Amino acid sequence: MRKNFLFWVLLVLSLTACNQQQEDNSLKLIDAVDFSHVKINDSFWSTILQKHVSATIPVCIDQIENQTGRIQNFENAAKRQGEHSGIYFDDSDVYKALEGMAYTLINNPDPALEQKADEWIDKFAAAQEPDGYINTFYTLTGLENRWTNMVKHEMYCAGHMIEAAVAYYQATGKRKLLDVSERMVAHMMSIFGPDKRHWVPGHEEIELALVKLYKVTGKQEYLDFSDWLLNERGHGYGSTGGNGNWNAEYFQDNMPVKEMSSITGHAVRSMYLYCGMADVAALKGDTAYIAALHRLWDDVVLRNMYVMGGIGSSADNEGFTEDYDLPNLEAYCETCASVGMVLWNWRMNQFTGDTKYIDVLERSLYNGVLAGISAEGDRFFYVNPLESKGDHHRQAWYGCACCPSQVSRFIPSIGNYIYGVSKQAIWINLFIGNQAVLPTPQGDVPMGIETNMPWGGDVKVTVGKDYKGEIRLRIPEWVNEYQLQVNGKDADVTIDKGYAVMKGSWKAGDAISLSMPIETKMVAADPRVKADVGKRAIMRGPLVFCAEEVDNPQNYDLMKLDNATQFTASYNANLLNGIEQIQVKQGDNAFSLIPYFAWDNREAGRMKVWIDYND
């Protein structure tokens, strides 16, 4: 009896130690609060979310089903006959649109939309090969050629299918696509991995998708496979195996990822790579990944990011050339890359508890991402220049439609980025009006935010339940001064990495009031950015403003700024769903600015962000 007792004691202690070790391996300080716990109700984002439901999702469905042949590829693949139309990675657009549909169902349950999603998933399942492989391009053009070219996006498409499968399972509990995804992963792992074939995906995405699949299923092999794929880079494997003219820098294959310090090549690929590195590091406790990500962040943000949070200056490689090369008229700034900046900086904040990552996230979100979709939610930018001659416009769709489908899955998940929780604290990152229920170690804590951001800087946070611990409230980098009160009295706070830290025992109904006067500022670029020498950009809070010719037909070419320039901001409820305009007076000259995200929604005309400045 005593031996049995000791056995069970030792077993319990062993399991406890294993669990503790697993917990200690995590490098994450903060856990994100999933948007399914957050109900957004402010006027700014509610309008965007309504347009997403009424316009963006229907546009994506129509294009995929009726205009482009993307869904027909799956129908043909299921019959194993017919031609493949479009580009070899077009399957990914369908998967991303489905992911957007899943997120929409979480926010706005709709039986008709769910039925449409089920119809699509049936087509995906029917197109899957008996061995688990699924990719309509190779099914219809020759399965004998699959896994012969690392550039052909097979794992990229699989990654987006996995993300859609996880999203739909979380939205509905239906696992049909999750099963399809697991069969595809089993197929890939039967070919690639330790002591098997080498493989460097030409376009990253599978790495972060595998981590999502691991979190849902608990299967360690998915996390390990993601880690293996990350570490395949930088060893010369990509330049072999019939990949044509493999440009190692373009594909982030020029060195092992843990040694990287400079961003290279294609911008979106880089963002997905960094997200995958962060996800694996968080679960495996690998500090080498994190050290590399810190070096890369400095290179991206300090030397290669536009004022509106966009990245990727060159159309030639949809990415980077040299540090500080940031032209305005020729700027590429793919919408997908701005979404990637949000995703990456969100992860970096969770490791560090530092608001500098949320500052960049907010800038990319309100400017780089939102510019990618029209005010009515039915037209899209792929490229986001900071200057236009009047010939750059949003389109209903693109031959390469990664950006419309990307926006369709990103917008409904905006609630992800507002809150975080940790053992001792609730973290408030973005000021978006909402009602939420935060899953803390003390149990669910209701929380609400009231605000008129980004137009006004007053924020009220209400605690809905007794809570013992810190509340950490981000103070944005664009704030010069602020007032912080709890229940009408000045709060006793300390500042830690940009967060106002308030300690104590909170009672249901306690209210935190943050007042942040939003000032209009002229911003100078780093003097090494040749395109912006002698110019200034205008920011107000997180928003970058621009001048459109439609507002300034007589004096567009006469705009100047100097230290005596006066700015007056006013809200126009009748313009573009309600936006703030800035009236600029410089001597006898006057002109008008609007938020950068709102440009090209009216008459065609020129636009510029950077305006001539006289010292």
List, by residue number, the catalytic residues.
318, 402
Residues 82/108, Cβ–Cβ less than 8 Å: no
Give CA–CA dist 23/350, Å, rounded.
Answer: 15
- Phi/psi for 229 (5° steps) reads -65, -40
DSSP assignment of 393-425, as one string?
--BS--SS-HHHHHHHHHGGGGGGGTEEE-SSE
Tokens of 194: 């330790």
Residues 98/116, Cβ–Cβ less than 8 Å: no
Residue 613: CB atoms within 10 Å? 18
Residues 151/244, Cβ–Cβ less than 8 Å: yes
Closest by CA position to 317, among listed 386, 325, 109, 360: 325
Closest by CA position to 262, among listed 306, 289, 293, 222: 293
HSE-CB for 570 with a 13 A CA cutoff: 7
Instruction: Please tell me whether residue 514 adopts helix, strand or coil conformation.
Output: strand
DSSP assignment of 176-240, as one string?
HHHHHHHHHHHHHHHHBSTTSB----SS--HHHHHHHHHHHH--HHHHHHHHHHHHTTTSSGGGS
Contact residues for 19 (Cβ-Cβ < 8 A; gap 6+): none
Handedness of CA 408, 418, 340, 604 (dihedral sign): positive
Distance from first CA to last CA of the chain, Å, rounded?
88
Instruction: Please tell me whether residue 168 adopts helix, strand or coil conformation.
Output: helix
Residues 253/246, Cβ–Cβ less than 8 Å: yes
Relative to beta strand 470-474, strand 425-428 is: parallel
Closest by CA position to 372, among listed 44, 52, 35, 42: 52
The packing angle between helices 206-217 and 176-191, to 10°, is: 120
Residues 605/549, Cβ–Cβ less than 8 Å: yes
Instruction: Please tell me whether residue 559 adopts helix, strand or coil conformation.
Output: coil
Residues 425/471, Cβ–Cβ less than 8 Å: yes
Amino acid identity, residue 396?
A
Give CA–CA dist 362/520, Å, rounded.
Answer: 17
Give CA–CA dist 207/223, Å, rounded.
Answer: 9
Using CA atoms in the order 269, 275, 280, 282, what is the torsion angle rounded to 10 degrees?
A: 170
Tokens of 390: 């009047």
Residues 317/265, Cβ–Cβ less than 8 Å: yes
Q: Is the peptide bond before 454 cis (omega within 30 degrees of 0)?
A: yes
